[in-house]
Amino acid sequence: MYQKLSKLLRDISVENDEIYFLRKWLLIGLGLHVICAVFSTGFLHFDEQWQILEFLGAKLGKTTFDVLPWEYRFKMRSWTQPGLYYLLFKPFIYLGIDNPFTLATIARLFSSIIGWVSIILVSLAAFFLFDKKIERMWAIRLLCITYFIPFIHARPSSEALSSSFFLTGLSMLIIVNVLEKKRNEISPWWLLIIGFIMGLSFTFRYQMGFVILFTWIWYIIWGKSSVIKIALLALGVVVAVLLEIPVDRWGYGEWTVAAWNYLDQNIIQDKASNFPTAPWYYFITKSFTRVVLPISLLVVPAWLIFWFKRPKHPVTFGTLPLVLIHSIIAAKAFRYLIPIAPLTPIVLVEMNKILPAKYLQKGLWFLKLCLVVNCILLIGVLFRSAKSVVGMYEFVYDNKITLINYTEENPYTMLGLPLNFYKSKLLEMKYINNYENLENQKGWIFVSKGDRILAFLNQNQCVLKYSSYPQFTLKLNYFKWAERSRFWALFFCE
């Protein structure tokens, strides 16, 4: 297939300088992905921690199964992703590298590299989606530098990994479909591989089943398909899904079908309604604020225009069903859009073919403004911690602290669930019933209210050892903002 792809690139007038351009920007993209994976410590969403790393921690002996979230009891979460990380971590643990923060970095690097591979495939697909050289070059640039893409890919979450595998499969299907139409020499077994890759995306996140189904329908209607090829594409998905069953047997200790349990609990028994609900237009309105202004003013209309003007496009079939299904279901969260977000550059470049040239020319200043803002955001995102509190966990772990006194808030518990993956087995958390008694304790003391933190700072016997805010900012307490703030601080008191 590689030889056929290379020949076809030459046939569609892809010049050597474009190939060099592609390699250069993909290397830039790789560098950005690696940097982001190293520095974006912590977790962006709670599911990233409790459904992946805490599940994995139970298998690694860092926590116990009885304290895992309720989804574990109902056997409704796939073990494919935790199992993948388990295989990834085991050689490092065997070599004595069992620091949880190092292991989490390895997980982020793995997720980032998989995401970067998907960018390679989407970039190659761009050569067949866009006829003009300038369009292809801008698609590649934007795929590599759009500020939220490296950050998404650095997350060891089900949304990120399922997105990377699905977009890899979708891009391969687009390329194979063009190869079939141009030369009709492609091996049908490639469809089995593509189906298998898409099937893996389903095992990481079950909601991907909708876009996989509609992508299959697109291939039936508009692809260069045959009964054998259609069947092989479906068979690949089925094989991947069936392989999840023994993996879940390993995870849960008994035979079960987690995908069915997920459907039963969330839809049939309607437990999904217990989660935050929102109206059908939630994703449209929320996108304007969650995607940073002014970029959201460009991105959101572009997606809506694309879906309306390109109803037969494979990207439409691979994205719109996910948005529609989640819009219908009452329970909503913005992270549900993460799987389709990396395709935003393709949609933006497609606007060059959809919108009249006069509108594009008038809006050129706005496009330049968005590009500048994006580059500024990219620099910030590369070095941003996804969850800054993990910095304190690492401080405690590195300093081999064995006892911390606290009151009201246990830093190793969130949403009523213990966070044990980053916690040393030697660490004991001692509850003190009020702040007055807490102030009389010796040793390590955790405080999370601004006014109490300032009170501890005024005690001569206590020294601030860690703060989620830089200590010098606490001295700039204009309008008493620090008293009203909630942040984490760790003191050592004599």
pLDDT tens readout for residues 66-92: 999 999 999 999 999 999 999 999 999
What's the CA gap between 62 and 64, in Å, rounded? 7
pLDDT at residue 2, as a whole number: 53
Residue 367 has pLDDT above 60, yes or no: yes
**Could you tell me which residues are beta bridge partners of residue 86?**
none
Q: How confident is the model at residue 451 (pLDDT cuts 50, 70, 90)?
A: confident
Residues 6+ apart with CB under 8 A from 473: 482
Q: How confident is the model at residue 470 (pLDDT cuts 50, 70, 90)?
A: confident
Q: What percent of the chain has pLDDT over 90?
A: 69
pLDDT at residue 233, as a whole number: 95
pLDDT at residue 416, as a whole number: 85
Structure tokens at 42: 């912590």
Amino acid at 104: A
pLDDT at residue 223, as a whole number: 84
Tell me, yes or no, if the pTM score tops 0.85: yes
pLDDT at residue 414, as a whole number: 87
Do 240 and 200 contact (CB within 8 A), yes or no? yes
pLDDT at residue 196, as a whole number: 98
Residue 1 has pLDDT above 70, yes or no: no
What's the CA gap between 25 and 19, in Å, rounded? 10
Q: What percent of the chain has pLDDT over 70?
A: 97
Domain ranges (residues) in the chain: 2-382, 390-493
Do 211 and 322 contact (CB within 8 A), yes or no? yes
Name the region of 47 (left: φ>0; alpha: ψ -120 to 50; beta: rest): alpha
For the chain, helix (H) and strand (E) counts, in that order, are 26, 7
Q: What is the pLDDT of residues 236-245, one digit of tens each?
A: 999 999 999 9
What's the CA gap between 322 and 315, in Å, rounded? 12
Rounded mean pLDDT of 476-491?
84
C-alpha torsion angle, residues 125, 129, 131, 136 (rounded to 10): -50
C-beta neighbour count of 324 within 10 angstroms: 15
What's the CA gap between 18 and 215, in Å, rounded? 29
Q: What is the pLDDT of residues 414-426, one digit of tens each?
A: 888 899 999 999 9
Residue 477 has pLDDT above 80, yes or no: no
Strands 462-467 and 417-418 turn out to be unpaired
Q: How confident is the model at residue 386 (pLDDT cuts 50, 70, 90)?
A: confident
pLDDT at residue 359, as a whole number: 87
Please name the residue ranges forming H helices in 293-363. Answer: 295-309, 314-317, 320-328, 344-354, 357-362
Helical (H) or strand (E) element with 94: helix 80-94
pLDDT at residue 441, as a whole number: 87
Residue 22 has pLDDT above 70, yes or no: yes
- Domain 390-493: which topology? D-Maltodextrin-Binding Protein; domain 2 (3.40.190)
Total residue count of the chain as it appears in this document: 494
pLDDT at residue 329, as a whole number: 87
Q: How confident is the model at residue 483 (pLDDT cuts 50, 70, 90)?
A: confident
Residues 6+ apart with CB under 8 A from 227: none
Q: How confident is the model at residue 452 (pLDDT cuts 50, 70, 90)?
A: confident
